[in-house]
Structure formats: structure tokens, C-alpha cells
Structure 1
Amino acid sequence: MHLGKQIRLERILNRDTRRAIIVPLDHGVSVGPLSGLTDMRQTLSRIATGGANAVVMHKGLVRCGHRGSGPDIGLIIHLSASTALSPYPNAKTLVASVEEALRLGADGVSVHVNLGDENERMMLEDMGQVSATAASWGVPMLAMMYARGPKVPNEYDPDVVAHCARVGVELGADVVKVPYTGDMDSFQRVIDACCIPVVIAGGPKMDSVRAVLQMVSDSISAGGAGLSMGRNIFQAEDPQALLKAMHGIVHDDVSVEQAMETLGHVG
């Protein structure tokens, strides 16, 4: 592997566990300034102090969150975008380049592909181009892979998720992000077909902290490499405390019960 890529990957994946807690903060483009994404310096400070390994941001947001003090955190620049206002919200297009990401000090880049969408071929073409450019610069690529389209009745179907993950692997991703399939056995089948780290998405904000932590724990038990969750973290009552609990599960292999105790919750 390119030495530069190895060095950058260690700013995203914990070098001892080879796992990661990634917090996407790119929602402002797709759905607007959600709660938790207004004061970016405060949000980033909480996320970094809580123990996250990296954040995902669009290029223009970096200047809003740069702190100049506090714990360091890995930076992944998201290159894909679409908005909920579009008649084609699942059709992602490239809005930044690998070179722009490097100029911003990024440790990696990410792309989002919705398999099954009518514009799938263009998203795959974009991913292929980014993969080639990122490889030439030694920049890790995170592939966010989902199945969303008229031929996809259930995007959480294990076979569908496994297909998404495998496309990410075969088109050159260094880390792939997919939805959790709902149980350890089916998710292990997803993992077994991948030779790169697989992290789970968070999806819509969940009502129960325990449910979030249980999903993270189960994915790790199945062989997953951690998580890439946004709203379930930055919209939490105490994002910093939640991240510390997640850190215990992802990097220290503590149980959900032990993690809940660090939050002050019982049961």
C-alpha cells in the first residue's frame, strides 16, 4: 500500500484496533442546517473530545469548524452532493475533487453512491474517477453505498447490503459504509465478502440510546470495523458522553451494559 495512504488511514482508523468512529456532518447540503449543525466549532469540539476518529464534511464547512485548539480529529472531505429539494434527491453528483480535499488538509475523501437509482451509472462513473485519482495521491476513499431505487423494495435486505458493500470493494474503496442488516448473522455474511473495513450507517435518529449502542456492539461482534453515524450522535442529548460510550464498545470491546453505565443509565 502507498505509504501516504497508510499514514492517512491511521488518522481515520485507530492504528491498534483498525476500527473507527466516524461522524458525518454533511447533512447541511442534503437537508439544511439541522439542530446540532449550527455552531460547528462547538459541535466539532464535542465530537473530538468524545473520542471520534474522524468527521466527514463538505469543503466549505471546514472553515466554519476549524478550532485551532483542542484534540485533533481526522478529516474526510465529502465529494458527493444532492438536496432534498431536487426531484432526483438520490442522484449524487461530484462537487469537489481529491486535490481540493488535499489543499484543505484532508486525511481522506468520501463518495456516496445509490445503487438502483436511475442515475446509478453516472454515480459509478464518478466513483471510478475519484478512486483512480485518490489512489494516485495516496488518499483513502470512504464509499457510502446504499441501494435506493425502483427495483429495491428493502435497502436493508442482507443480499442487497452485501451487494452494495462488494461494489465498494471492487471499485477501489478503502473503507465502505453500508446500512446494518438488523442481525449479526446476516451482517457477518456482508463482512465475509469484503477485504476492507466495513462501518455501519446510523440512518434516522433513533429514540433509544441503548438501541444505538446495541446496534454498534452487534456490528462489531459480526466483524464490523465501527460506525459512521451523524444524527444519532450530533443530535444526542450529550454527544460527548455518547461518543465516549461508543469508544468503549468500538475500541475497548466493553459490553453495552458497561457502556450504558458510563452514561449514567441503568438497564
Structure 2
Amino acid sequence: MLTGHKLRMGKIFREDGKTFIVAMDHGLGGPQPGLIDPGDTIAKVIAGKPDAILTNMGVINKYADQLSQLHAVLLTIPSDRTAIPYIKQAIKLGVDGVKVSYFGPFDRTKYMAWRDIAIECHEWGMPLMTEPVPMTKSPWEGGVFITDAETVARVARMCFELGADILKVAYTGSPASFREVVTACPAPVTILGGAKIENERDALEVIKGAIDGGGAGITMGRNVWKVPNVTGMVRAIAKIIHENATVDDAVKELQ
């Protein structure tokens, strides 16, 4: 393994083997509440001390001074073979990892394209996060996430076999079922947030369940920065991930 890869993975994950990545790559879909002013949101997030932010190239270029305060920054790149040139661009940007994703019905060809991306990433010492999200139909057709442990474990393991260094997957509903996913995938597994959960405490319960199930942390966006107290939410999540705090203890950060 290249030294650069080790150094970057060491920035993404703390000594406890866990990470708290705030996903802020949603702006590709246009401005939305919580991300209207990226700089303001980044400031609130950083004040709570997460480990990393995942975002897009424009945000990294514009807010590099703020982002430099983090342990790590990850870049979202295209999810097909057109992503190959982005790996060198990621190195020029100084980021510590790149992420690809696929939302939709199982399509082996979509996942197999990630093997070429993984080869290029490993050539340059760039960690690769994959986000495989099986759905009943495409998002544009009203599809919903498939979150049973068997399905999530299958796509997570496939991504590992194709060269993924980090996984971002849906939570399966309980610590016991999520442990099946973690056991099936030798790469560290983080959970996505998906749609905004109505209550912050419920979001913390999901995160706690993933950690208790052996998860390596979260890569979550709307449930972090689409809340009234962004900094408090970041602190609460960090306590669960890195201090193994109870939800009752963590939720005090929101008061």
C-alpha cells in the first residue's frame, strides 16, 4: 500500500478506527435549506469538531481556508469511468479521499465500473469511498431504499472486492442486523443519513445503533446541518462515535 494512501486514511479515521464525515455534496441538486450559504454552514459544522467534510470541487476551491481546519476533506466525483481524470484533480486539490455512488435497482455493470476507478485511486494513493444504495426503482421513479441486512451486506462486500476502502451504506434498522453487514465487509463501514429524520433524537438513535453494530462511523448530511442547532448536533454525534456516549448523554449537546 502506498504511503500516501496510509497517510490519507490516517487523517480520515481517528486512532479509535472511527470517523465522523459530514456530507455536504448536496448542492449539485441546487440550493436548499441548510446549504444556502456553504461558508456559514461549514463554520457551524467545524465548530462542533467532526473529522471530515465530503463535498464538491467548487466548494473546496471557494472555502479552502475553512476546510483546512479539518482533519480531512473528501471529494465527490462522477460514478462511472469518466471519473478517472478526477483522481489527479483530487490530488491537486489536496483532498484525502474520493466518493462514488449509485442509487437504483441492482445493476452489476454500474458497480463493475468502480473497479477501474479503484485501480486509478490506488495507483495514486487516494482512498476510495463507495456508496452503493440498492433501491426498488430509480429515484426518479419513486424508488425506495432496500435496507435488509442481506442486500446491504451483499453490495458492501461487492464494493470491497472491487477495491473500495470505505463504505457508505444504509442503516439496516438494528445493531444486530447491521453487524451482519460489518462482518461481511472487511473495509470500514459508515452509514448514510438519507432523508431528513423528523426528530434529532431519532437520528442520534440511528447513529448509536450503527456504532453498537460495529460500524466505523457516519457519512451523513441533512441530519447534521438541516437542524436548528448545527454545532450542537455535530458535538452530539461526535460523542456517540468517539466517546461511545449514550443518546441520553449526547442529546444534552442540543440543549
Given the superposition, is the C-alpha separation of residues 192 and 70 from structure 1 closer, same or farther in structure 2, using an over 3 Å criterion? closer
**Match in the other structure for 1:3:** 3
Given the superposition, is the C-alpha separation of residues 260 and 116 from structure 1 closer, same or farther in structure 2, using an over 3 Å criterion? same
Query: CA contact under 8 A between 2:98 and 2:127: conserved in structure 1?
Result: yes
Query: CA contact under 8 A between 2:136 and 2:146: conserved in structure 1?
Result: no
1:61 to 59, 62, 65: 59
Deviations 1:54-95 (A, max 9, x none): 1111222212322358733411111126xxxxxxxxxx6745
Partner-residue secondary structure (3-state), 2:132: strand
> What are structure 1's unaligned runs of at least 5 residues?
82-91
Partner-residue secondary structure (3-state), 1:132: helix
Deviation at 1:17, TM superposition (A): 1.1
Partner-residue secondary structure (3-state), 1:168: helix
Deviation at 1:13, TM superposition (A): 1.0
Does residue 134 of structure 2 align to residue 147 of structure 1?
yes
Partner-residue secondary structure (3-state), 1:45: helix
Deviation at 1:10, TM superposition (A): 1.6
Query: CA contact under 8 A between 1:49 and 1:71: conserved in structure 2?
Result: no
Given the superposition, is the C-alpha separation of residues 44 and 158 from structure 1 closer, same or farther in structure 2, using an over 3 Å criterion? same
Deviation at 1:260, TM superposition (A): 1.2
Distance in 2 separating the partners of 1:208 and 1:51: 22
Given the superposition, is the C-alpha separation of residues 70 and 97 from structure 1 closer, same or farther in structure 2, using an over 3 Å criterion? closer
Counterparts of 1:8-157 in structure 2, within 5 Å, are 8-14=8-14, 16-29=15-28, 31-67=29-65, 71-80=69-78, 94=82, 97-114=86-103, 116=105, 120-121=108-109, 123-150=110-137, 155-157=146-148
Query: CA contact under 8 A between 1:41 and 1:67: conserved in structure 2?
Result: no
Distance in 2 separating the partners of 1:171 and 1:93: 14
Percent identity, aligned pairs only, is 28
Deviations 1:27-70 (A, max 9, x none): 121x2111121222221122222111111112222123223587
RMSD: 2.1
Larger helix proportion of the pair: 2
Partner-residue secondary structure (3-state), 2:211: helix
State which drifts further: 97-106 or 46-55. Answer: 46-55
Query: CA contact under 8 A between 1:22 and 1:228: conserved in structure 2?
Result: yes
TM-score, normalisation: structure 2: 0.91
TM-score, normalisation: structure 1: 0.87
Partner-residue secondary structure (3-state), 1:228: strand
- Name the amino acid aligned to 2:87: V
Q: Number of residues paired by the alignment?
A: 250
